[in-house]
Chains A and B, each alone.
Chain A
Amino acid sequence: MRQYFNYFKIPFILALVGLIPTIVCLIMQANRPLHTRTNTECTTTERVFDYAGRLSASEEQELRDLIAELEPQIGCDLIVVVLDESLQGYAEDRASYWGNVPMSQYTMIYGADFYDEHKFGFNKPIGDGIIFVDNWFREADGRVYSRLNAFEAAQEKFPASVIEDLLDDALEDVEDDPIGAYKKVVTLSARRMGMRGIPVNTSVIFVVACIITAAYLGVNLAHKKGKKTTTNKTYVKGGKPQYLRREDVFLNKTLVTHTISSNSGGGGGGGFTSAGGGSFSSGGHSR
């Protein structure tokens, strides 16, 4: 037991010291004012709509939990829609209201209509909120479009340029890690809306604890019988070989050149009014 306490002396002291700021923060958190949702007409409580099947059930739940934690802090609805279908026909059907829009704005009108249809908004139907639409389908121009529409109060904080920067940052690895990218979109949006603090997922803590413990056990269990301390030359007379001939003769040289090519992507946006009358700003990203 003495060896045990001696071994963990420093971590135990650190845990006791760390307890003080943690308790202070818990008190601060408990006293932080939260917004109350006043929209009673919204047709759904769902916030994550993965029609493309890009997220697993647990990932969807992870995203839902994050949104549920953030919405009362920022007083804003947060909706994520994931598609994998051409929106060309949809845009043509909706041309009577939206007119002929470029392909980069298909996801914008889909998101605005979706928002209207479900009467999202934290304070009222088609009120304060942010809807993010990521469509994995490659439209006729060969590009994949994503869009973020910020309604009502959120509109002020999300000019098109801000949205584009946000999406460029958040969607950098969306192809390899969609859940990571979507969580980043939600977190950055909430932060932009004045959210304080950095959300840390409990499952991440659990996974990190498992990894650290496994590493600790691995290092302490992996003691080998011993290290080899001889070298190739330990038993060589004089410590080195006798070279009878040692040559490195330069023969000739060849030079090859090639030109480096580059590519780029972009979006487009501004201020709009949805069919339901909600005003919103919008910005996009393509890949």
Chain B
Amino acid sequence: MIFTCKNCGGNAVFDPKRQAMYCPHCDSEDSADRLENQSSTVCSNCGAPIEVERFTSATKCPHCGTYIILENRVQGSMRPGLILPFKVSKREAVRRMEEEFEKRIFTPSTFLSESTMELLEGSYVPFWLYNYDGEVEYEAKATKVRTWTTGKTEYVETSHYRVVRDMHIDFEKIPVDASTRMADDIMDLLEPYQYKDLIDFDELYMSGFLGEYYSETEDKMSDRAKEKVTEATESILKESVNSCGYSTVKPVHKEVSIVKEKAVFALLPVWVYRYRFRNSQFLIYVNGQTGKVIGESPRDNRKIWGYGGTVFALTLLFGFFVKIILGVF
């Protein structure tokens, strides 16, 4: 499926800034027509062959640049229930990256140059959003210790408490990325997404972006979700007990049960910037909704030596200034 402009026939794409379909060729808005694909291996616009990887659901024709959505990969069990449309435009993503990396002084000067910015692509990453119910039954013995001194006598007062916490925690839409191509730790760092913008899936939001369907099943990824929920539950419990200012806490009874309620397949927006430096590839990710930037930037060794050497020389110089001045007064 491709979206074509009713006015000029060009490829209409979803524009994050306008939150509407837009034709970059004739500047018209909301004038998109759906055009079904005849084949998933040939571009519907120019007829050139396209190579599609196993889990790809939306791609770009390498010949004419048309964004193609593969209908057979957004249907049936592969159809996402929800989608969070891009809110951050490409220009805004570049600005966010510049803001983030200008503080990293050792990045090569070509890192965010205009020519390499063409390598920035918006992509919808498949996620499973899980709902879990957590139940906690907890009882502990705790103490509060107060010490004070009067004259030469030190007093230590210990107050003993019984602590009880029984609670119910509803976890909603715990996100776990369902793509083997995306590193779990990176996707975790891109969180949180604001779920108020989640809407029912429609292919038109994918036009202008790349996309994937899940390469990991809901059952397989539920372990990661459970791990996240368990960790959060333990922390909430700990926080609740620690906030009372106890000196010691000794648990007597603890029972935590975590039960999965449901899971939804959703697509969440991510800008991905691929930069090659000295035979290594560096990947930078920008949350397509909030603009949060994640990733490790390359380091230019010449800059490290140059800047480090200057700091060393300047510190020595100031040290000698101090030595000479202090030697007089």
Contacts and interface: CB of A to CB of B under 8 A. Distances in A.
B315 A208 contact: yes
B158 A254 contact: yes
A249 B311 contact: no
A43 interface: no
Given A7-B105, A210-B312, A229-B292, A248 B163 contact: yes
B162 A29 contact: no
Interface in A195-213: 196-200, 202, 205-206, 208-210, 212-213
A253 B160 contact: yes
B60 to A, nearest CB: 27
B192 to A, nearest CB: 5
A25 B327 contact: yes
A217 B293 CA distance: 22
Contacts of B308: 213, 216-217
A198 B158 CA distance: 51
A228 B329 contact: no
Contacts of A234: 191-192
B277 interface: no
Given A4-B306, A25-B327, A209-B315, A18 B153 contact: no
Contacts of B296: 223-225
Contacts of B189: 225-228
Contact of A236 (B163, B169, B188): B169
A257 B173 contact: no
A244 B166 contact: yes
Contacts of B322: 200, 205
Interface in B275-327: 292-297, 299, 304, 306-308, 310-312, 314-327
Interface in A231-255: 232-238, 241-255
Interface string A1-28: 0011001100100110011011001101
A249 B162 contact: yes
A140 interface: no
A38 to B, nearest CB: 25
B167 interface: yes
A8 B166 contact: no
A230 interface: yes
Interface string B162-177: 1111111111111000
Interface of B is mostly: mixed
Contact of B166 (A208, A213, A245): A245
B161 A11 contact: no
Contacts of B295: 225-226
A259 B192 contact: no
Given A25-B328, A247-B162, A255 B156 contact: yes
A223 B297 CA distance: 9
Determine which residue in B154, B159, B171, B315 has the highest number of CB atoms from chain A within 10 A of its CB, and name it. B315
A243 B319 CA distance: 60
A240 to B, nearest CB: 9
Given A29-B327, A230-B192, A255-B157, A209 B167 contact: no
Contact of B104 (A206, A209, A223, A246): A223
A65 to B, nearest CB: 13
A57 interface: no
B185 A243 contact: no
Given A196-B328, A200-B322, A213-B308, A15 B314 contact: yes
10 contacts: A7-B307, A28-B328, A197-B328, A209-B312, A209-B319, A217-B311, A220-B105, A225-B294, A232-B232, A248-B163
